[in-house]
Structures are given as structure tokens and as C-alpha cells.
Amino acid sequence: MEYQSIIKNSKTRISAALLVGILFKFFSDVIFGLLYKNYAIFQPYFGYIYAVILSLLALYLFYFIELWLNKKLRWQNSILKRFFVQLGLESVTIFTLFIVLRWILLWIFYNNTLVVFTDELVLIATVVLVTFIYNVLNLGSFLLFEWRYSLAELERFKKENAESRFEALQNQVNPHFLFNSLNTLSSLMYHDVDAAAKYIRQLSQVYRYVLENSNNELVTLKQELEFIDAYEFLLSLRFTDRIHFKRTIAPEQEQMLIAPMTLQILVENAVKHNIISSKKPLHISLVANDGWISVTNNLQMKQAEGYSSGQGLNNIESRYRFLTEKNMQIEKSEQTFKVDIPLIHPSEKTKIDT
């Protein structure tokens, strides 16, 4: 969401010009009245009209200056630099309108009329002060906008994070998963008691991980991979030789951070949406290097799919928009489906927490 100027619409500019023009003219006259005994504080109305017209013209020029700066130097890139550049450009603009234009008119209509140095200093100080106050208000408006936007983003992240965690938990407790797990366990109990015992331990590890990390924003990649080990074991027993996992993880990447259950959701999506059979086995690979982890599977979509909320990838993407400036990347071809997830360096966790 892009910040807009405090004079973003015509009605606001007209109202501001009316107020600024009248106040500028009045306070200038008050100062001159204090300097000169014979100076009338309440000048003819056309002087106020002239000030209002110049103020309106100045505000429109300010608006176009700020539109141009929004393309060349956004507030978000450098607040102080933007503030001083905008202040400088708008000071030159208002100085030209209220001072230089006044000198030109005096020269045209009152040939060779000399200006009083003290009077010019008063006018210059007034227009500079008005421009400075306007830019301070603009800066304050931007900071307030950013604060409110960050609060809204935080609330949105909490909501989407909760949805993603709920979906990860739901994937484990939905009737299909429980039925398949219990069915696999039942067959193992009669054929291989040791394998059944290991299956129960891995199943409990999956549930324990989901419950223990449901409130964590980040875990190490090593923790996530240990969870995926248990999850892959359950799938391997369920699908036997119809599903194959391959993993290439650089050792130095294991201490990088990842949002919990991210890999599980991606693996679950691959299992849920693709045909898995002896003739068409599913191949899932995990590759981590250079601060990224990729989850790739061969694409063999089911003709009729079961229920899917469609929120898995969207929630992961939303979570990572909050956690890092890097974006999740999706590549889809006729043969493969690949999702690249950015890994977060431990030093970045402090920035996220603050």
C-alpha cells in the first residue's frame, strides 16, 4: 500500500489553500503592523484573494512534486533524505511564488520600486516556516500511516499464521489421515510388531511437533527436517514403493530458520493432488542451498480431487511476506511442480522479534 500526500484530493487542497492563504496574509500584516506604526493590519480583501490563489497554486505544485518523488525517492526508502529533498524543492517553489513573483510584479507595476530588506526577510522567513510546518505535518502523516499499516499487517499475519497452523494440524487429524494411519498400523500389528511400534513412535512425533510448535514463528531447518523424517516414514509405510523421497541438504543450511510445518504442507499438497501408483510413483525431492530450500515433485494431477481449502500455498506466502523480504517462488511445468522457500538467517530473527 502506497502512502498518499495529505493533500491527495482537490477538496483538501482548496480548503488548505483558503486557510493557509488567509493566515499567511493576516500574520504577515500583523508583523508589519508591529514594525510600522502607520501600517494597517487589515488590508483590502484583494490582498487575501491574491494570497489564497498563490497558496492554491503552491499546493498543486507541491502535489505534483510529491507524485514525482514517490517514483524517484519513496518515503520507505529513506525518510530523512525524502524529507529534506521534498522540503528543499517545495521551499524553492513557494519562495518563487511568494517572493520572486512579488518582485517581478513590483518591477512591472511600480517601476524601479525598491524593496525594504527587513520586509523581505519577514516574508521569506514566513514562507519558509509555512513550508517547514507543512512538511513536518506530511512526515507525521506518513509515520502515522506506517504505524497503522504495520498494525494491520501484524493482525493479518497473525490471522493467516493461525490459519496455516490450523491447516497443518487439520491435515494430521482429518478423518482420512486418521483412517489411513490406523489402517496401516492395523496391518503392521499382524505382520511386523517392531515396525508397528516404530510407526506409533513416528506418528506421535508428528503430532508432538505440530502441537509444540503451533505458536512458534520460526524453527531451525534441522528441527523441521527431523519432523519431515517422521512424516516421510508414515507416508513410506502407507504407499510402500509408490512414493520416493530424495534429500540434498547442505550441512551449513541446517541452522537456518524456517516457518514450522512449511515443508509438511508442501509434501502433503504433493500427496493430496497427485496420482500415486505402482505405474506412476510420486517422487518428492528436498534441496537446500544458498539460503533457499526447494520442494519438487513430478506432476501427475488427479482427475477428481478431494476437499482442499486452497489456502496452503497462500498462507505460506503471506507468512513469508511478514518474515522476510524474499518471496516464495513457484515454478510449474508439464512435468514438475516446484516451490522455493527462503531460509532465514538466525541474525534476522532479532529483527523479526523487534
Instruction: Compute the half-sphere exposure of residue 198: CA atoms within 13 Å on the CB side of its CA.
Output: 13
Q: Which of 48, 343, 111, 105 is nearest to 220 (CA)?
A: 343
- Who's near 337: CB < 8 A, 6+ residues apart? 270, 296, 297, 299, 330, 331
pLDDT at 176: 59
pLDDT at 311: 64
Instruction: Compute the half-sphere exposure of residue 129: CA atoms within 13 Å on the CB side of its CA.
Output: 11
- Report the C-alpha gap between 160 and 140 in whole angstroms: 30
- Who's near 142: CB < 8 A, 6+ residues apart? 3, 75, 79
For the domain 174-353, what is the CATH code? 3.30.565.10
Lowest average pLDDT, out of 7-11, 66-70, 194-198, goes to: 7-11
Which of 20-34, 42-56, 69-83 reaches the highest mean pLDDT? 69-83
- Report the C-alpha gap between 8 and 12 in whole angstroms: 7
pLDDT at 228: 92
- Report the C-alpha gap between 112 and 28 in whole angstroms: 23
- Who's near 48: CB < 8 A, 6+ residues apart? 21, 22, 25, 26
Q: In the numeric block, which cell numbers belong to residue 62?
A: 507541491
Lowest average pLDDT, out of 16-20, 70-74, 328-332, goes to: 16-20
- Asked if the model's pLDDT at residue 303 lies above 60, the reply is yes
% of the chain at pLDDT higher than 90: 19
- Who's near 40: CB < 8 A, 6+ residues apart? 29, 33
- At 62, the pLDDT band (50, 70, 90 cuts) reads confident
- What angle is formed at CA 240 by the lines to CA 238 and CA 246, rounded to 5 degrees? 105
Give φ, ψ of 245 to 5 degrees.
Answer: -115, 140
pLDDT at 242: 93
Q: Is the pTM for the entire model greater than 0.75?
A: no
pLDDT at 343: 94
Q: Is 283 helix (H, G, I), strand (E, B) or coil?
A: strand
- Asked if the model's pLDDT at residue 173 lies above 50, the reply is no
Locate the domains of the chain by residue range: 10-149, 174-353
- Asked if the model's pLDDT at residue 307 lies above 50, the reply is no
- At 297, the pLDDT band (50, 70, 90 cuts) reads very high
258: β partners: 219
pLDDT at 281: 94
Beta strands in the chain (DSSP E): 219-220, 243-249, 257-258, 282-289, 292-298, 329-332, 336-342
Full DSSP string of 287-301:
EEETTEEEEEEE--B
Give φ, ψ of 217 to 5 degrees.
Answer: -80, -35
Q: What is the pLDDT of residues 203-250, one digit of tens each?
A: 888 878 877 887 788 999 999 999 999 889 888 888 888 999 999 998
Q: What is the pLDDT of residues 103-132, one digit of tens each?
A: 776 677 666 555 556 666 777 777 788 888
